[in-house]
């Protein structure tokens, strides 16, 4: 837990996702925001305060970084990870500012150490040289076997080979994976369907550290690749073999899930299960996982994690109302659990969670205002840090619980309320559409255009629509179009054509 008396100069040892140890130092505290930087330190044994004395700040020069300090400002929502240990205080080096303009979480400092070390120690010099040289290259012709496409060599960090973008691969037969040689700055890849040489291509191009693979085959073997992040889904998926360096694994929740073969039982993984519900199970082979995120429907069970005896951190994000949690009592058996984050748990009560003596921080974003006082009373004087934001009146929630823009009021009360009203108005109009096919399509188009125009006005007045809110608006727009029997691809086209935010 971040002690309330933390002050500039305090030093923490950080457990790293590669099995080693790093360190960070606090540079400033301003209200609920704490600023800290990572030290240029990596060891396989936990360092002492004396060993860290005089160690300089870590500067990031991997990939496109220009040598800036690994220095961030951290809001109170972000709990200090259980793998951090405060060991004392040292003078902050001269020239290091008290705060940073970069905002992130504590874990980003540990991740910076691992990413920089991977660049320095693990990536082949030729791959690094090609990455940097490509920054000044012009257009290149790329052909994966289904025709040449002209790309800017410095541009495509994410390469979509799923068929959704302009890049194409042959419908069958061999793929010309050597085309990746022309894109040395590609670090993330999207793929769909059978393997077709993908694993070998990734092993030959270790600069690619992130993969999204949809409709994966029954057996996926990526053990020889340099992947650090993997998002995987497939109705027939039964067996997954992971590389030792993988740090993040996202799977679509399934019962039963695949058998997963990971280093140390997944001890170094952050596991995300999307589409989670009351029947979600953790895949076999991941008994060592210490960090889990469940992302899913309106009612979720925490029972899936009952066998994860090493679990230290859990995050639950309800994507649909009512935001209820069942089987919460199983958490009492997890004696290492230190951090819980709950997002949009509007169905929670103050006593939903059992007594958890090991808990150091409980963060809740999106809840009924009526339970806040009871929550604060329950945890007052326990030493457990409670962070609450996005509490909403029960009467307001009764009218807006199913409104996808309900959380916009957390950014701006008036702008968010206006967005909620615009969405509710669109729903009322669409629910009254005539049965005549042509009239129905015309009136639905008009209602959807009215919604987008309303969002334009709201954004101009309140500047509320950032990247995340734009994606939420897009999802809501497509959902409304589907409700009106309009095809999703047409809705996507309209939304992109009509919006200016």
Render pLDDT for 24-43 as a digit per residue (tens, 0 to 9): 999 999 999 999 999 999 99
pLDDT at 153: 64
Neighbour-count burial of 481, counting CB atoms closer than 10 A to its CB (0-12 exposed, 13-18 middle, 19+ buried): buried
Residues 56 and 161 in one domain: no
Q: Can you count the helices (H) and strands (E) in the chain?
A: 10, 25
Residue 183: inside a domain, yes or no? yes
Show which of 230, 246, 262 is a domain's final residue: 246
State whether 16 and 115 are in the same domain.
Answer: yes
Q: Do 117 and 150 reside in the same domain of the chain?
A: no
pLDDT in tens, 119-149: 999 999 999 999 999 888 888 899 999 999 9
Same domain, yes or no: 184 and 197: yes
Residues of the chain with pLDDT > 70, as a percent, come to 98
Q: How far is CA 292 from the centre of its chain?
A: 12
98 and 187 inside one domain: no
Read off the pLDDT of residues 171-180 as tens digits, 9 standing for 90 and up: 888 999 999 9
**Number of domains comprising the chain:** 3
Residue 391 lies in a domain: no
Using left for φ > 0, alpha for ψ between -120 and 50, and beta otherwise, residue 95 falls in left
Other CB atoms within a 10 A radius of the CB of residue 62 amount to: 15
Instruction: Let me know if residue 143 belongs to a domain.
Output: yes
pLDDT at 277: 86
Please identify, among 73, 93, 121, the residue that sits at the C-terminal boundary of a domain.
Answer: 121
User: What does DSSP assign to residue 57?
Assistant: B
Q: Which residue, 212, 246, 280, sits at the end of a domain?
A: 246
Task: Give domain status of residue 353, yes or no.
Answer: no
Predicted local distance difference test score (pLDDT) of residue 3: 45
Q: What are φ and ψ of residue 172, in 5° steps?
A: -150, 170
Residue 240 belongs to a domain: yes
Q: Are residues 57 and 107 in the same domain?
A: yes
Q: Please check whether residues 116 and 197 belong to one and the same domain.
A: no
What is the reported pLDDT for 2?
A: 45
Under 8 Å between Cβ of 121 and 20:
no
Residues 207, 131: contact at Cβ < 8 Å?
Answer: yes
Whether residue 237 sits in one domain with residue 140: yes
Q: How far apart are CA 71 and CA 101, in angstroms?
A: 9
Over residues 48-98, the pLDDT tens digits come to 999 999 999 999 999 999 999 999 999 999 999 999 999 999 999 999 999
pLDDT bin (cut points 50, 70, 90) of residue 154 is: low
User: Rounded to an integer, what distance in angstroms lies between the CA atom of residue 71 and that of residue 62?
Assistant: 15
On whether residue 295 sits in a domain, the answer given is no
Residues 128, 236, single domain; the answer is yes
Q: What stretch of H or E contains 417?
A: helix 413-430
pLDDT at 155 (0 to 100):
66
Tell whether 468 is covered by a domain: yes
| Helix (H) / strand (E) containing 159 | strand 158-160
pLDDT single digits (tens) 306-351: 999 999 999 999 999 999 999 999 999 999 999 999 999 999 999 9
List pLDDT tens digits, range 178-205: 999 999 999 999 999 999 999 999 999 9
User: What angle, rounded to 10 degrees, do the helices at 467-483 and 488-498 form?
Assistant: 140
CB 480 within 8 A of CB 426: yes
137 and 95 fall within a common domain:
no
**Same domain, residue pair 234 and 129:** yes
Residue 411 lies in a domain: yes
- Same-domain pairing of 128 and 217: yes
CA distances for 206 relative to 187, 193, 199, angstroms: 9, 21, 11
Distances (CA, A) of 379 to 183, 226, 270, 355, 433: 53, 44, 28, 10, 50
First and final C-alpha spacing in the chain: 39
pTM of the entire predicted model: 0.90
Q: Under DSSP, is residue 27 helix (H, G, I), strand (E, B) or coil?
A: strand
Domain that holds residue 28: 10-121
Looking at every residue in the chain, the average pLDDT score rounds to 94
């Amino acid at each position: 837990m971040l002690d309330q008396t933390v002050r500039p100069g305090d030093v923490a040892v950080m457990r790293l996702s590669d099995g080693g140890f790093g360190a960070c130092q606090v540079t400033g505290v301003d209200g609920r925001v704490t600023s800290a930087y990572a030290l240029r330190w990596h060891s396989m044994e936990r360092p002492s305060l004396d060993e860290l004395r005089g160690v300089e700040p870590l500067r990031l020069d991997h990939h496109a970084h220009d040598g800036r300090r690994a220095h961030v400002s951290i809001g109170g929502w972000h709990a200090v990870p259980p793998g951090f240990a405060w060991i004392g205080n040292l003078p902050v080096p001269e020239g290091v500012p008290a705060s940073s303009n970069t905002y992130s979480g504590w874990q980003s400092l540990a991740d910076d150490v691992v990413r920089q070390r991977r660049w320095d120690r693990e990536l082949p010099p030729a791959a690094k040289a090609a990455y940097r040289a490509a920054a000044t290259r012009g257009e290149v012709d790329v052909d994966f076997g289904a025709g040449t496409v002209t790309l800017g060599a410095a541009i495509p960090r994410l390469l979509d080979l799923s068929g959704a973008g302009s890049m194409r691969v042959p419908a069958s037969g061999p793929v010309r994976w050597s085309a990746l040689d022309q894109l040395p700055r590609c670090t993330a890849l999207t793929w769909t369907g059978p393997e077709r040489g993908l694993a070998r291509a990734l092993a030959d191009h270790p600069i690619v550290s992130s993969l999204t693979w949809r409709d994966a085959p029954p057996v996926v073997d990526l053990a020889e690749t340099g992947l650090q992040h993997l998002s995987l889904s497939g109705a027939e998926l039964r067996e997954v073999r992971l590389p030792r360096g993988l740090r993040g694994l996202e799977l679509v929740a399934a019962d039963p899930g695949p058998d997963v073969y990971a280093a140390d039982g997944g001890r170094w993984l952050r596991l995300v299960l999307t589409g989670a519900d009351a029947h979600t199970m953790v895949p076999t082979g991941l008994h060592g996982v210490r960090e889990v995120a469940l992302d899913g429907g309106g009612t979720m069970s925490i029972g899936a994690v009952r066998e994860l005896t090493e679990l230290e951190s859990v995050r639950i994000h309800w994507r649909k109302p009512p935001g209820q949690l069942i089987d919460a009592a199983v958490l009492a058996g997890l004696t290492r659990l230190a951090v819980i984050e709950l997002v949009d748990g509007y169905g929670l009560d103050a006593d939903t969670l059992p007594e958890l003596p090991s808990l150091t921080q409980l963060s809740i974003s999106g809840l009924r205002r009526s339970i806040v006082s009871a929550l604060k009373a329950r945890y007052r004087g326990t030493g457990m840090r409670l962070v609450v934001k996005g509490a909403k009146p029960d009467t307001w929630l009764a009218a807006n619980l199913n409104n996808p823009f309900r959380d916009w009021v957390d950014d701006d009360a008036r702008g968010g309320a206006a967005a909620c009203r615009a969405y509710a108005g669109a729903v009322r109009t669409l629910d009254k559409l005539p049965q005549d096919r042509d009239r129905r399509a015309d009136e639905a188009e008009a209602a959807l255009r009215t919604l987008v125009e309303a969002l334009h006005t709201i954004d101009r007045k309140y500047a509320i629509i950032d990247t995340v809110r734009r994606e939420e608006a897009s999802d809501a727009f497509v959902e409304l179009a589907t409700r009106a029997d309009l095809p999703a691809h047409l809705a996507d086209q309209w939304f992109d054509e009509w919006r200016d935010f």
